[in-house]
Amino acid sequence: MKAIDVKNITKGFVIPHERRDTLREWIATGFKSHPKDVFKALDDVSFTVDKGEFFGIIGRNGSGKSTLLKVLAGIYPVDSGKVVTHGKISPFLELGVGFNAELSARDNIYLNGTVLGLSKKEIDAQFDDIIAFAELEKFVDQKLKNFSSGMQVRLAFSVAIKAKAEIYLMDEVLAVGDMAFQQKCFEVFREFKKQGKTLIFVSHDLTSVRRFCDRCLYLKQGHEMALGKTEEVLDKYVYEDRQGLNEASAPVHQNKNEIPTKTDNVKIQSVTKQAEITQVRFLDKTDTENDTFISGDAMTVEISIQTRKKISDPVIGIVFFDNNHVECFGTNTELRNETIRCIEGNKVVRFEIEANMILQGDIAVTVAIHSRTGEPYDWHDKKYHFRVMNNTSDVGLVRFPSHWQINPS
Partner 1 sequence: MKNSQNYFELVMRLALTDFKMRYQGSVLGFVWTLLKPLLQFLVLYMVFSVFIRLNVPNYQLYLLLGIMIWNYFSEGTNSGLYALLNKSNIIKKVYFPRIVVVFASSVHTLITLSLNLLIFLAFFLLSGKPIHLTALLLLVDLAVLYFLVLGISLCLSVIFLKFRDINQIWEVFLNAAFYLSPIIYPLEFIPAKYRFFLFLNPMTGLIQYARLTVLEGKIPNFSGVIYVVGSTIVILILGLFLFTRFSHKAAEEL
User: Where along the sequence are the contacts to partner 1 (CB under 8 A)?
Assistant: 13, 21-24, 26, 70, 73-77, 83, 85, 88-89, 91-94, 97-98, 100, 102-103, 107, 110-111, 114-117, 119-120
DSSP classification of residue 33: P
Closer of 87 and 296 to partner 1 (Cβ): 87
Backbone phi, then psi, for 232, in 5-degree steps? -65, -40
Element spanning 80, H or E:
strand 80-85
Closer of 120 and 308 to partner 1 (Cβ): 120
Closer of 90 and 290 to partner 1 (Cβ): 90
**134 closest CA partner among 189, 70, 87, 181:** 181
Q: How far is CA 145 from each of CA 123, 149, 158, 291, rounded to the nearest angstrom?
A: 22, 9, 18, 38
Closer of 110 and 329 to partner 1 (Cβ): 110
- What is the rounded CA–CA span in Å between residue 55 and residue 290? 26
- What is the rounded CA–CA span in Å between residue 392 and residue 401? 12
Closer of 117 and 251 to partner 1 (Cβ): 117
Closer of 88 and 273 to partner 1 (Cβ): 88
**316 closest CA partner among 275, 258, 346:** 275
- What is the rounded CA–CA span in Å between residue 296 and residue 401? 9
Closer of 115 and 252 to partner 1 (Cβ): 115
Closer of 4 and 299 to partner 1 (Cβ): 4
In the complex, least distance from residue 37 CB atom to partner 1, rounded to whole angstroms: 15
Closer of 70 and 387 to partner 1 (Cβ): 70
Q: Enumerate long-range contacts of 95-98, CB under 8 Å, 24 or more apart.
A: 95/153, 95/156, 95/157, 95/160, 95/173, 96/152, 96/153, 96/155, 96/156, 96/159
For residues 118 and 164, the answer to whether their CB atoms sit within 8 Å is yes
Closer of 73 and 315 to partner 1 (Cβ): 73
In the complex, least distance from residue 121 CB atom to partner 1, rounded to whole angstroms: 9
Starting at the edge strand found earlier in the chain, the sheet holding 275-283 runs 275-283, 299-307, 346-353
In sequence order, the β-bridge partners of residue 16 are 36
Look at residue 239 and give its three-state secondary structure: helix
Radius of gyration of the chain (CA): 26
Neighbours of 378 (CB within 10 A): 22
DSSP codes, 369-386: EEETT--EEEEEEEEEEE
In the complex, least distance from residue 94 CB atom to partner 1, rounded to whole angstroms: 5
